[in-house]
Chain A
Amino acid sequence: MNLAQIFTDLVFFSFAAILVGSALMTIISRNPVRSALFLVLAFFAATGLWILLEVEFLGLILILVYVGAVMTLFLFVVMTLNIDVEEQRSSFVRYLPFAIVIVAMLVILMVYVISPGHLNPSELTTTGGQPVNYSNTTELGMVLYTDYAYPFELAGILLLVAIIAAISLTFHGKGNNKTQNPDQQILIRREDRIRMVKMQGDKK
């Protein structure tokens, strides 16, 4: 076993340990802000693993989209909300049946996907198996815009619908908000706002 192999293993196991640990901390942490930050750490570790598998495009997009945008907004909301953790804990038992059903479904899905019939370990490429000029981005683009063109466009439409729904929920028509009109604002002259008054006491 050469040094490069040892290094790869070391990187893999440390990222894997960080991923599992921070995912655990996300659910058991009492403070919601800390939970969100641990989730960020989990995304990071996942990125590390993906880059180890030479899928740098997916890894970097994970950082860009989830860490850079989604989690920032998430933190933004969580920080401004004053969430009472104790109150949430009291309803823990009430939601437990739903949680168990969801977890059971997830476990079944995982078992189905990772079963030998679908995921053959011998077919998986190990790290460092790709040629030097291999570009994950090109490969992904080729697959995405040929084999999966329709699902890709469908996903796009789904997001568009979500955007329109979100806007229509929060937008109450033009007259009801206090929007500034920049065209009018830049037309303001000094004479509109200031009146020069001569005071008698000024002359001495």
Chain B
Amino acid sequence: MFNDLLLILWIIIKIIVIVVPLLLGVAYLTFFERKVIGLMQSRIGPNRVGPWGLLQPIADVLKLLTKEIIIPSASNRYLFVIAPMLTITPALAAWAVIPFSQGMALANINAGVLYLFALGSLSVYGVLVAGWASNSKYAFLGAMRAAAQTISYEIAMGFSFVGILLAAGSMNLQDIVLKQQGGFWHWYWLPLLPLFVTYWISGVAETNRLPFDVAEGESEIVAGFHVEYSGITFALFFLAEYINMIMVSTIAALLFLGGWLSPFEGIPLLGPLFAWVPGIIWLFLKIGGFLFLYIWLRATFPRYRYDQIMRLGWKVLIPVTLVWVVVVSLGVEFKIAPWFI
């Protein structure tokens, strides 16, 4: 009895250790985003609150928390309030299976990839419900766009996961990372390069980030599905979007870039030199690289036109993944070294 309670307490501590840094990471990701985009556009970015503007995200959070929540009178009240929760819950729950280093996971489950994919497919519900419950034309248009886009890119994303499953022969995230052992050229990004690119594009589309942010589309439909939301309810949508960004980056790092494995593994001089660096540092560096890519994409590309999004998803990405899944299965069948042993 006492041991069981202790176990539950230990799990709760682990959850806090994951969630609190995650929320802080989101806060400083917004700061990083504004700074990087500012520099890319020859501006300075936020620099007023605290030293070098470092307290800006804290100020933003405080402001959002103190704002009034306005519920439109013609909205569906119950669903209107529940929609932000529907968005944030799967975004947070997905972190349960992420291994941060060897053995460092809240739950090391066998169907890890499937669990992540299932929770990822749920993120569209918050958007759909929010758009419908707001009873607003713009919100509804945003929700419809989000639903169509998510469905389309989920298929391509699913097939890139199938490629990983074939290559690793496992759905357990730790096994997948350990299968990539042996240095930079053993990671799955090389043999699965088309799937890697497809996964990344679908990941950007799934999180509704630029250049695929037709669900928000400020210049066309104001702010899309969350146009009626204010204060903390809006903040929850915002939070979920950024958590999902970090999530997509983490999955990309785990599945294609060897997770916590060192890139210098197996190189004569550099390998031992960097052997002391804990794996979690490498993982964070890789995640950071992907997050920078997100921001870089946002600063570089204009928004896709809707029919072009559909064309890219259905006519380019899905055929590419279908062909490459066959290639990977051939590679696995004939045990092509060094990846498929």
Interface residues of A in 171-187 (CB under 8 A from B): 180, 182
Contact in complex: A80, B144 (CB < 8 Å): yes
10 A-B Cβ contacts within 8 A? A40-B125, A60-B111, A60-B115, A64-B118, A67-B125, A68-B154, A69-B121, A72-B124, A73-B151, A79-B140
B287 touches A (CB below 8 Å): no
Q: A37-B129, A79-B128 are in contact. Are A60 and B144 (CB under 8 A)?
A: no
B132 interface hit (Cβ, 8 Å): yes
- Whether A68 touches B128, Cβ cut-off 8 Å, given contacts A3-B1, A137-B111, is no
Residues on B facing A (Cβ under 8 Å): 1, 4-5, 79, 109-111, 114-115, 117-119, 121-122, 124-125, 128-129, 132, 140, 143-144, 147-148, 150-151, 154, 171, 307-308, 311
Contact (Cβ within 8 A) A60 B154:
no
A18 at the interface (CB under 8 A from B): no
Tell whether A33 is near chain B: CB-to-CB under 8 Å.
yes
The residue from A4, A37, A69, A182 contacting B151, defined by CB atoms under 8 A apart: A69
Bound-state Cα–Cα, A137 to B110, Å:
9
Please determine whether B128 and A69 come into contact, CB atoms closer than 8 angstroms: no
Instruction: Determine the residue in chain A with the shortest Cβ distance to B82.
Output: A37
Contacting pair A180 B307 (CB below 8 A): yes
B5 engages A3 (CB within 8 Å): yes
Nearest A residue (CB) for B4:
A3
Contact size range, A: 20 to 34
* Chain A contact surface mostly: helix
Asked if A168 is at the interface (CB within 8 A of a chain B CB), the reply is no
Cβ-defined contact, B144 with A37, below 8 A: no
Contacts of A73 in B (CB 8 A): 147, 151
Instruction: Contacts A60-B118, A76-B148, A80-B144 known; list 8 others, CB within 8 Å.
Output: A3-B4, A56-B114, A56-B115, A63-B119, A72-B151, A73-B151, A75-B132, A79-B128
Q: Tell me if A135 is interfacial: C-beta within 8 Å of chain B.
A: yes
**Is A161 located at the chain interface by the 8 A CB criterion?**
no
CB-based contact B311/A182 at 8 Å: yes
**B-side contacts of A68, CB under 8 Å:** 118, 121-122, 124, 154
Closest to A68 in B: B121
Tell me, yes or no, whether A12 is within 8 Å of chain B by CB: no
Q: A3-B4, A3-B5, A69-B154 given as contacts; is B114 within 8 A of A64 (CB)?
A: yes
